[in-house]
Amino acid sequence: MARLYDIRVMTVLGSLLCLILGLAFPWSKTPIIVGLCFGIATLGVAAMVRAGQVSFGHAMYACIAGYTVAFLARAWPQLDGLLLILAGVGASLLAGAIVGVFVVRYRGIFFGMLNLAISMVLFSVIGKFYTLTGGTDGLRINRPTLLGFEFERAGFETVLLIGTLAAAIGLGFLVQRYFQSASGEALAGIKTNETRLEYLGLSARRVLWNGYFFSAGLVGLSGALFAMVQGLVTPDMGSWLRSGEFVFIAILGGSGHAIGAFLGAAVFELVKLFAAAYMTGVWQLLLGVTLIFVILVAPEGIIGLLMKKSALATRRGG
């Protein structure tokens, strides 16, 4: 169908744009990588939105992965970057698996606020244990080797850009497959009817836990990549505002298709660049106003608009 084609075209064009921009204007590499990181994190948050749940604390997984990277890189400077990233993702998956067991028992505002509460505890702990975590100043990470090669800053960023882009495309594809699989559709069933899930012999908690576990890993990966590109981790990576930004992007992009996360992240990054240049100090205000606008005008997000526009709102294809 045409939509499948549209999304492939968008993916190819978007990827080319990222690469060309990044290589032509080296300063843009960092914002592009950061944007892709936000997109990857939002893939995870969007999975929760499909289940009808919003988490105001998911950024904690970025924080957990980021600090894991920082601790390991400082303890063993010879560790390879890829290994650091994998370790970060592993840590966030582990945390997600444990926290998940608890939070999947709750829905709606309870789910949102419990995630927030846990992330706030983590946030304050990191802030308090200065000697270990560097407090609010955070921790610096020296540039590690990547796949055994040592890179200068520019080369390092280029490799990260390509790697992040590849990860974004691959994960976008996998997450979309997940959304359309039996597990993913059951996940969406949590939003509409848990009683029926139960009477199909399924455990709604188990279904949600699976989604939560993946989402923690995705947000974790984004945090690990973010830490690498910035060379720095701070508690802000896990602040409620960051969690809110992920939710914002998920709604802005729409959760009808995995690519929505990246469309949302792209718009988000552009607005952020714009706001940093012309409207300093009103970032949250801008986010809030946009969010209200999106909810009132296009509650299905950008991807919803595109799907409606091509009159292909059927849930098939991909």
Partner 1 sequence: MTLDLLILAAADGFSYAGLLFLVSLGLTLIFGVQGILNVAHGSLYAFGGYTAATLAIWATEKQAPTWVLLAALVAAALLVGVVLGGILEIGLLRRVQDKDPVLQLLVTFAAFLIFEDLQRLIWGVSPYSSTEVVSRMGNLDLFGITYTVYQLLLIPAVALAVYLGLLYALRRTRLGKQIVAVTHNREVATALGINAKKIGLITFIAGAFLGALGGAMAAPTTSLVPGVGTDMIVLSFSVVATAGLGQITGAFITALLIGMARSLAVYTAPELEVAVPYLIMVAVLLVRPNGLFTVAQARRI
Partner 2 sequence: MGVLIRTERLSLNFGGVIAADNIDFSLEEGERLAVIGQNGAGKTTFINICTGFLKPTGGRVWFDGKDVTGMEPRHIVRLGLGRSFQLPQLFLDHTVRQCLEISAAARSGKLSFLLPLARSVDAREIDHTLELVGLRDRSHELASSLPEGQRKLLDVAMALMLNPKLLIMDEPTSGVASEDKHDLMATLMRALDERKVTSWFVEHDVDIVSRYATRVAAWIAGKVAADGPPAEVLASEAVRREILGTA
Distance CA 234, CA 250 (A): 23
Look up residue 116 and give its two tokens.
Answer: 């927030």
* Binding partner at 183 among partner 1, partner 2, none, C-beta below 5 to 8 Å by kind: partner 2
* Binding partner at 296 among partner 2, partner 1, none, C-beta below 5 to 8 Å by kind: partner 1
Is 239 in a helix, a strand, or coil?
Answer: coil
Among 60, 65, 73, 114, binds partner 1 (CB under 8 A): 114
Among 78, 131, 142, 195, binds partner 1 (CB under 8 A): 195
In whole angstroms, how close is the CB of 121 to partner 1 at the nearest point? Answer: 5
Among 24, 182, 296, 311, binds partner 1 (CB under 8 A): 296
User: Which residues make up the interface to partner 2 (CB under 8 A)?
Assistant: 174, 177-178, 180-186, 188-189, 191-193, 195-203, 207, 210, 314-316, 318
Among 21, 117, 232, 271, binds partner 1 (CB under 8 A): 117
What values do phi and psi take at 223, rounded to 5?
-65, -40
Look up residue 135 and give its two tokens.
Answer: 């407090």
Residue 6: Cβ-neighbour burial (10 angstroms; 0-12, 13-18, 19+): middle
Please give the size of the binding site for partner 1, defined by CB under 8 A: 41
H/E stretch holding 43: helix 29-50
| 253 neighbors 260 (Cβ within 8 angstroms) | yes
Look up residue 148 and give its two tokens.
Answer: 């055994």
| 245 neighbors 57 (Cβ within 8 angstroms) | no
In whole angstroms, how close is the CB of 204 to partner 1 at the nearest point? Answer: 13
The answer to whether residue 52 forms part of the interface with partner 1 (CB under 8 A) is yes
* Binding partner at 153 among partner 2, partner 1, none, C-beta below 5 to 8 Å by kind: none
Q: Of 137 and 198, which CB lies nearer to partner 2 in the complex structure?
A: 198
